[in-house]
Each structure stands twice: as structure tokens, then as C-alpha cells.
Structure 1
Amino acid sequence: MWGYGVKALLLLGARDLRLEEVEEPRPLPEWVLIKVERVGICGTDKAMYSGTYKLLKKPLIPGHEVSGIVVDVGEGVSRDLVGHRVTTEINVYCGRCWYCRSGIYTHCPYRETIGITRNGGMAEYMVTRRDLIHVVDDLTPLQAAFIEPLAAVVEMIEMEPVKPLNRVAVIGVGAIGLLAIQVLKLFEPELLVAVSRPGSPKARLARELGADLVVDYQELSEVVKKDTPEGQGFDYVVEATGSSSGLEVALDAARPRGVVALKSTHGSPVSFDQTKAVVKELRLSTSRCGPFDKAISLLRKRMVVVDKLVTSEYPLTRGVEAFEKSFERDQVKIHLVT
């Protein structure tokens, strides 16, 4: 099935990740070939690796938080792109269906998703469609590899806006939680609280990046009682724990008619107290892929800091070790560097 030429990480099943030589991809008409510089390991990648998120393609080259250099182009694409640093959106949509014509291309029923249903960036080279790339020569490879997750945070706020002077809680201080803290801080909340597991080594980062207060799960109920109106909860709660238990914590922390924004894609079924959510009249908001242009603007203007979020770097050849490391408590974001 596979030829030879370039190194790639192939995921074949739960904790079955292998470094293999595969045939170098070639760009089709209107596609480009990218020499990958960096790719991040995200929560979805970890869930596919652990087996909680169903693997939709076997074998799969994972990875969708990518930065790299265009080294070749297919027919119909200007060679002026060669040599430029780019990142790529992950939804390869059809452009013809009702969803695409309505501007909802991320939900095109005929789409392929880079790193999930088609091969992604955990390889020396990858291909993507010309209209999906963004040229980001003015960003570092590290910054460019954060555009996709930052765009997902922007989408969360576009789907359910936060208001100035809201009291906000971010539950979970992984990469998405720490990006959310920074973006939410721009809206000047009355109070911004980060919630971590007891003894989390990542709590320090949450403080550095803008949280007014960092507490653990056990302390959260006291903060709700003391620091929210009538002790009833936060206006806006972000659930970014990456676990199936996070939703119930978020429901408890939100005030009546508050917002609970869900960002975890752990792949596991979740049960929650629906009666509580209905009685409190909560708005549950879900979101995933977002606007790359706005994420790029935030990075260019230095309104969001990402360098501190990379806690480990590994060469592609140590990909299995990198994935195992990503489950350790002190890790925020691990980058594979080619």
C-alpha cells in the first residue's frame, strides 16, 4: 500500500503509533506540497491515540495544527507560493452543497478533515488545497502552529459572545483553556477565574496569562458563593477539561441563564443532570473550527502569547514518546519538529 520516501507517523489503532517511511505526497491540481516545520499534539489527537475517539481512517497520519513551507504546487497554482511559510485550515469542503453555499463549510457533509479523516501533518511532507492555506511569513513556525486552536477559541466567542464585565470561569488549564483565558481577557471581564485540578503545575501559567484568580475544583464552590452575585454562579463558563467529568462541574459553576461553552473533544460519552440545566435555563454552546484570519490577527498584534504554552518539543522520530509525554500533568502543548 505504501511506497517509500519520507518519514511519517502512522496511527493504526489505540496506542498503535508507528514511525514509517511512506511515499512522498504529490500535489494534485489546485493543491500544494508543504514541508512541515512543526505540528502540535492536540486533545483530539490524544483521544484518537488513546482509543476514546474512534479512528475514522486506518492507517492515519494525524496532525492538524501545522506550520510549514510550500515546496511545490500542483497545476493551476502560482509558483510564487513556493518558499512561503503557511498554515492550513483542516476542512477540505466540496464548495457546492447547501452548507458550503450557505457559508457553513466546516459542516459540509462531503468534507474530509485533515489529520482526522485524511492524512495530516505528522510527517515530513503533507498536501493541502490551495484555498485552505494562509501565508504567515511574519509569524514564527511555533506561532503558526497555534493558529488552528486559537481560531477554535475565537469561534467559541463568535458562537456565544461574552459581554464586558461578565464574571467568567475557565475550567481546565490545558492549551485551549490558556488560549481562552487570553482571548476572554480582551473583553474586560469583571472577574476571570481559572479552575484547575488540585496541585496542577499549570496553574502558574494561568495566572501569568491573565486569570485574576486560580482555584482548584474543590475551591470553586467557595468562589461561586463569595464572588458571584447572590452566590449563584458565573455569567460565562468555558469547559475545556478534556474529560467527561468537566461538563457537570461547568453546569454547577454557571449562574441561572448563564452560558456554558463546551470545548472538549475527548470522544467519550457524557451523562449530565439535564434537569439542572433546564431549571437553571442554561445556554449550552458548542463550537470547533474557527476563523483563521482573526486568529492570525491576534498573533500578529501580540494580543495572545503562545510561546509559553509549548512545554516540550520532540523530533518526529520520537513521536510515540511525545504522545505518551502529552498525558503527563505538567504538559500543556507538545510540538513535533521535523
Structure 2
Amino acid sequence: MKALVLHKPGEIKLEEVADPAPDKGWVRIKVKRVGICGTDKAFYKGTYVPPKLPLIPGHEIAGIVDEAPGMEHLEGMKVTTEINVNCEKCWYCKHGMPTHCPYRETIGITIDGGMAEYVLTKPHLLHSIEGLSWGEGAFVEPLAAVVEMLEMQPLKPSDRVAILGIGTIGLLSAQLIRLITPNVVAIAREDSPKRKIAEKFVDVITVKEAREYAKSKTPEGQGFDYVVEATGSPNALNLALELVRPRGVIAAKSTHGAQVSFDYTLMVVKEVRIIGSRCGPFEKAIDLIRSGMIKVKPLITSTFKLDDGVEAFKKSFNRKEIKVQLTP
């Protein structure tokens, strides 16, 4: 099969590799669409070194089950897959935390992923995406990660929210948060080429305007109740700390892989909670897309054939791009 293989930072190649063959207890998906995620880009840049190299990246996957030994009833299903292949036996798996299974493998991160014609997964990780387009199906994984953010730290309808960044996670967050509270703004550079798309979903302001907003429109001018850090930059946490109110929440969503320096004392003095979150509930994400409550098609800014995957990776770093997807 054809696959994009990452050999080292900055070196990804389209190669012919052996078709993966599912052992008993595994299934194979014929990939129809796969997204390039911020984590994939961090692997490519070298700021986040994957545990396995060479590696076929890609974990935002939509496709068709084409081989399922002993589970032939699954064959032909239009699916997406969760990415954490957990053991189902350990303490974490038995206590409702399978994404933290210490024995897990992670598709596209520790084992080969979906930037290929085929990818292997476990049947209990499959979710039907009937009624969704392939592009929408490949958006389930990142949207589920945003749903998880609000499951771990729920919002109140009265909360004032600032979202740092108007990339994929920022704009998914904006749409989901607006279902709960109207008091939400996104913060981006004045010259951001993504502003026109972002403004379809949320009011977009600059950092200077955000500081003015916090002073004039939050209680005692002390800041936002909830700040989502989704810039993909290691420098943004200090801005989040500045903008959040005392005893407020920072939802950390960037997976850039870099070490971060921030004002630890300010965090302590303000008694700020910093909440990390990642992989979340797929069925809730599917329902949100299927119902039209969350719109992901406008966020797909470029689609490339797998054959042009090297070009797609380079294009994904263009400031105009929100989500670049590949079609094997």
C-alpha cells in the first residue's frame, strides 16, 4: 500500500509498504479521509518527538471496515476509530479511564496511523459515521477532544470565555461553548488570514482588545472565568494567566511538544486551575456533527490526495489553513 512515512523531523516520504494484516481481535479500515493534526505537525517540526520512528502518522480517520477476521458483520461499516488501543484489563481501563491505560498503544503516535491506504484498529474502538461525509467523519476525533474539555471542566451559562487561537481546536471550542454561553470571544492576531472564517462562528478580537474587554466587561475588571489555550504556541500560557480571573480556569489544549515557561507565582496567587484534556467521547461528537449543531465542513480549508501528502504537510503550516485533510 501507499503510505506517508515520517523518518525524522522534516523528512516525510510517500512510500510503498506492506499492507497491514489484522490478527484475530483486530480489524482493518480502508482509509477514505485523514486529517493533519497539530500533533502531526509537531512531529514534523521536531518539537514533539514520537516514541516510534519511522512512523505512519495520522489519527483523525474515516473509512470503511474492509477486513475483520471472525467479525465479518463489521465489514462494510462506514466508521471512524478511537486512537487509544487499551488493554481493557488494567486498573485504569476498569475505572473508566481507558485513554490512560499504561499499556495502551496510540494510533498514529506509537503505532502506525491513518496516512495510508489501510490502518489497523480494535473493534471496540469503532464508531459508525453513517450520515456523515468523509470529511466530517475525520473531524470526530478532534471534536471529541473538545467535548472532553467541557466534560472535565463544565461551563455555566453566565461564564465569560476567551479562546486563544482560531485554528481547528479554537473554532470547534467556540462553536461548542456558544451552545452554553453567549459570552465568548476568540483572540487572534489582527492580520490573521483565518479571521473571515472564524468570524462566522465567534467574535474575534486582538490581544489589546481582549485586555480592554477584561477590564470593562468582567466583574471588577479581573478577567475571564474560563480561558481556552488553543494556539499551539508554548508562549501563550502567560497570556492565558493574564486574562483569566482569580480562581478561574485555563483549559490547556495545545500539544506542541515544547517545554513551557510561565509565571508560576501568578498562577498560585490567582489560584488558577489549569486543566489539561485530550481524547473524548466519540458518540457525543458524532451526534453534534450529525445534528448540525457543530459545523466542520467550513474548517476544511484544503484536501490533498495521499500522493501529494508531502506537499500537504508543508501547506498545513500556511497561516491561511485551518484543517488540511488527505484522501488516500
Category of TM-score, reference length = shorter chain: over 0.9
Residue 167 of structure 1 is matched in structure 2 by: 160
Structure 2 residue matching 1:166: 3-state secondary structure? coil
Task: Give ranges in structure 1 of 5+ residues lacking alignment.
Answer: 1-5
Distance 1:16 1:201 in 2: 27
From 310, 317, 321, the equivalent of 2:311 is: 321
Residue by residue, what CA displacement relative to the aligned partner does 1:206-252 show, whole Å, maximum 9, x if unpaired? Answer: 2211x2x3112233211211221221110111000001011111111
Residue 121 of structure 1 is matched in structure 2 by: 114
Confirm or deny that 1:239 pairs with 2:229. Answer: yes
Distance 2:116 2:178 in 1: 35
Confirm or deny that 1:80 pairs with 2:70. Answer: no
Confirm or deny that 1:294 pairs with 2:289. Answer: no
From 277, 294, 299, the equivalent of 2:267 is: 277
Residue 66 of structure 1 is matched in structure 2 by: 61
Distance 2:235 2:209 in 1: 17
Structure 2 residue matching 1:208: 3-state secondary structure? coil
Residue 267 of structure 1 is matched in structure 2 by: 257
Residue 16 of structure 2 is matched in structure 1 by: 21
Asked if the contact 1:92–1:113 (Cα under 8 Å) also holds between the matched residues in 2, the reply is yes
Distance 2:137 2:185 in 1: 28
Asked if the contact 1:88–1:133 (Cα under 8 Å) also holds between the matched residues in 2, the reply is yes
Shift of 1:333: 0.3
Residue by residue, what CA displacement relative to the aligned partner does 1:39-60 show, whole Å, maximum 9, x if unpaired? Answer: 0000000000100001211110
Q: Which runs of 4+ in 1 moved over 4 A?
A: none
Confirm or deny that 1:207 pairs with 2:216. Answer: no
* One-letter amino acid matched to 1:292: F
Residue 302 of structure 2 is matched in structure 1 by: 312
Distance 2:45 2:171 in 1: 23
Q: 1:160-199 residue pairs with structure 2 within 5 A? A: 160-189=153-182, 191-199=183-191
Structure 1 residue matching 2:24: 3-state secondary structure? coil
Structure 2 residue matching 1:214: 3-state secondary structure? strand
Residue 336 of structure 1 is matched in structure 2 by: 326
Distance 2:51 2:207 in 1: 34
Distance 1:33 1:255 in 2: 48
Structure 1 residue matching 2:199: 3-state secondary structure? helix
Distance 1:218 1:36 in 2: 44
Distance 1:320 1:100 in 2: 37
Shift of 1:70: 1.1
Distance 2:120 2:40 in 1: 19
Asked if the contact 1:13–1:55 (Cα under 8 Å) also holds between the matched residues in 2, the reply is no
**Sequence identity (%):** 56
Residue 104 of structure 1 is matched in structure 2 by: 97
Structure 2 residue matching 1:94: 3-state secondary structure? coil
Query: 213-222 or 235-244: which moved more?
Result: 213-222
Asked if the contact 1:64–1:90 (Cα under 8 Å) also holds between the matched residues in 2, the reply is yes
Query: 113-122 or 22-31: which moved more?
Result: 22-31
Asked if the contact 1:260–1:284 (Cα under 8 Å) also holds between the matched residues in 2, the reply is yes
Distance 1:141 1:224 in 2: 40
Residue by residue, what CA displacement relative to the aligned partner does 1:163-198 show, whole Å, maximum 9, x if unpaired? Answer: 112111110000000000000001023x21100123
Task: Give ranges in structure 2 of 5+ residues lacking alignment.
Answer: none
From 25, 31, 35, the equivalent of 2:30 is: 35
Distance 1:251 1:61 in 2: 36
> What RMSD, in angstroms, separates the aligned Cα atoms of the two structures?
0.9
How many residues end up aligned between the 2 structures? 328
* One-letter amino acid matched to 2:273: R
